[in-house]
Structure 1
Amino acid sequence: MFLLHKVDSTVKKMKSHAANLITMCNMSFGGASIMATLNESYNYAVLFIFIAAFLDRYDGKVARKFNQESELGKQLDSMGDIISFGVAPALLMYEFVLVDFGVAGMFMTVLYIACGALRLARFNVMESTGYFVGLPITAAGTLLTFSFFLTHVLSPVVYMFLFFILAILMVSTFTLKKV
């Protein structure tokens, strides 16, 4: 009987931490992407961001499935998002494309990250309505990362505009229905 109780208790603990563990994995892949970028391993950096996006897709679903949604999980998810979809893609594309623009490239990179952080903070203090307000940072970061595959056909100047447009879309007030 004691053994069954212990197993049941362990399963409950695992369920209660599953979503946060997935979020921590998302965050870890974002961190790994940053390190890959710093080591000029750009293809790995892209791969790690896409893995983070896959994990980010499921942390909320797991939390809802196990009825484990929490304020801690919400905050942790936002911290993971700023790393994996804010800093990691911005640093990747800065190093790969915008570094030659000097201070202007740095400004656009920091603007993108700051707008992503503002968007996440705004999301965390708003009541859930079934709609996103502004472009979610996960979408912006994934789009920015996907643009890595277009660097051989797009002018670097396009990336200055892309950073700016994504930054503005994240802090704008248009609404998108959650899917």
Structure 2
Amino acid sequence: MTQTPPPDNRPPRDPFSEFKDDTEVVEDVLHDGKRIRRRGIYLLPNLFTTAALFSGFFAVVAALNGDFASAAVAIFVSMVLDGFDGRVARLTNTQSKFGEEYDSLADMLSFGVAPAVVAFAWILQDVGNLGWIAAFVYVAGAALRLARFNVQIGSTDKRWFIGLPSPSAAAIVAGCVWTFHSLEATAFIFKVLMAVVVAAAGILMVSNIRYHSFKELDFKSPVPFVALLAIVLAFVLISLEPAVMLLLLFGSYGLSGPVMAILRRTGRATPIPSPYVDEELARSGQTDTEEKKTGSTAGDDTDPAS
């Protein structure tokens, strides 16, 4: 008589366990001076990055459907969401290398590809080869800008951006589309001007011109009461004509870099030290006092481009 084998009391094997192991994100991180392997990703900051990515993709889809106002607004929404993911990660102590890479790829779509596609679908396609060349210059500038920013993290003065930040460049392009798309401008010179603006935004992103990062502002310290009134007034002005005011705001920021660079070259503005941190000074442990004696925090007193 055949005996029945004893029942297996082991829990059933998860059929997806191997899939989970193969697709899990594993990072090597330093914790208390020790290198450990961390599995998984942080959900909260990556949700903001995903939302920003979705807004950038929606801008492309809206532009292809001829809804240029919605496309431009989506780019601005992506800017707001992109500003939250990093801050949320720092506030909740959920920074990760995966989040940095994901954010950079999302920025490439939202602030690199999307503005170029929106501008091309709106008006650049009407000027032939000049249009797609201008759009490509912008896309290439955004890619190079993001790559340079990633490798320069920690080696530059946080008070300055080297080149026009990609969100600001995207805001200039989106602001032009949002402001002028309803005018139905047919003049060839206007179309060429828009191509020049798009290409110029791409070139500014890869330039060595410095832009204020405003990271030195302390929002925790008391400020005069008039500062709050100025902020309220700014919100009121933007709400009256958001397209025009945002274009003026980011257009002025984009022009501020070249204007200040020219003023510093002509001696009408005070030269500033190079924003790059000298690697030799960092290795030798030179103090801030010693750096002040040399007159600069880097090898050169001034940046050649400014």
d(CA) in 2 for partners of 1:127 and 1:34?
A: 30
| Residues 94-147 of structure 1, C-alpha deviations (whole Å, 9 max, x = no match) | 111111111111111011001100100111111333132111111000111001
d(CA) in 1 for partners of 2:71 and 2:170?
A: 12
Following superposition, the deviation at residue 16 of structure 1 comes to: 3.1
RMSD across aligned C-alpha pairs, in angstroms? 1.7
Counterpart for residue 76 of structure 2:
50
Which deviates more, 85-94 or 151-160?
151-160
Structure 1: any 5+ residue segments left out of the alignment?
A: 1-14
Give the one of 116, 127, 150 matched to 2:180.
150
d(CA) in 2 for partners of 1:73 and 1:83?
A: 16
Identical positions, percent: 35
Counterpart for residue 103 of structure 1:
129
In the alignment, structure 1 residue 28 sits paired with structure 2 residue 32: no
Give the one of 156, 174, 178 matched to 2:209.
174
In the alignment, structure 1 residue 62 sits paired with structure 2 residue 97: no
User: Contact 1:19/1:59 (CA < 8 Å) preserved in 2?
Assistant: yes
Give the one of 159, 168, 185 matched to 1:139.
168
Following superposition, the deviation at residue 150 of structure 1 comes to: 3.0
Q: How many positions carry a matched residue from both structures?
A: 165
The one-letter code matched in structure 1 to 2:120 is: Y
Counterpart for residue 101 of structure 2:
75
d(CA) in 1 for partners of 2:202 and 2:72?
A: 20
By percentage of residues, which structure has more helix?
Answer: 1
d(CA) in 2 for partners of 1:19 and 1:96?
A: 33
- What is the SS of the residue equivalent to 2:42? helix
d(CA) in 2 for partners of 1:141 and 1:74?
A: 20
TM-score (norm 1): 0.86
d(CA) in 2 for partners of 1:48 and 1:127?
A: 28
Which deviates more, 25-34 or 154-163?
154-163
Which deviates more, 33-42 or 125-134?
125-134
Give the one of 29, 37, 52 matched to 2:63.
37
- What is the SS of the residue equivalent to 2:208? coil
TM-score (norm 2): 0.51
User: Contact 2:145/2:166 (CA < 8 Å) preserved in 1?
Assistant: yes
User: Contact 2:57/2:109 (CA < 8 Å) preserved in 1?
Assistant: yes
The one-letter code matched in structure 2 to 1:175 is: R
Structure 2: any 5+ residue segments left out of the alignment?
A: 1-40, 215-306
d(CA) in 1 for partners of 2:98 and 2:124?
A: 35
Whose RCO is larger (CA < 8 A, sep 6+)? 1
Following superposition, the deviation at residue 50 of structure 1 comes to: 1.5
d(CA) in 1 for partners of 2:55 and 2:164?
A: 22
The one-letter code matched in structure 2 to 1:84 is: S
Which deviates more, 72-81 or 108-117?
72-81
Bigger Rg over Cα? 2
Following superposition, the deviation at residue 20 of structure 1 comes to: 1.1
Following superposition, the deviation at residue 66 of structure 1 comes to: 0.8
Following superposition, the deviation at residue 177 of structure 1 comes to: 3.4
- What is the SS of the residue equivalent to 1:67? coil
d(CA) in 1 for partners of 2:198 and 2:73?
A: 20
d(CA) in 1 for partners of 2:200 and 2:75?
A: 20
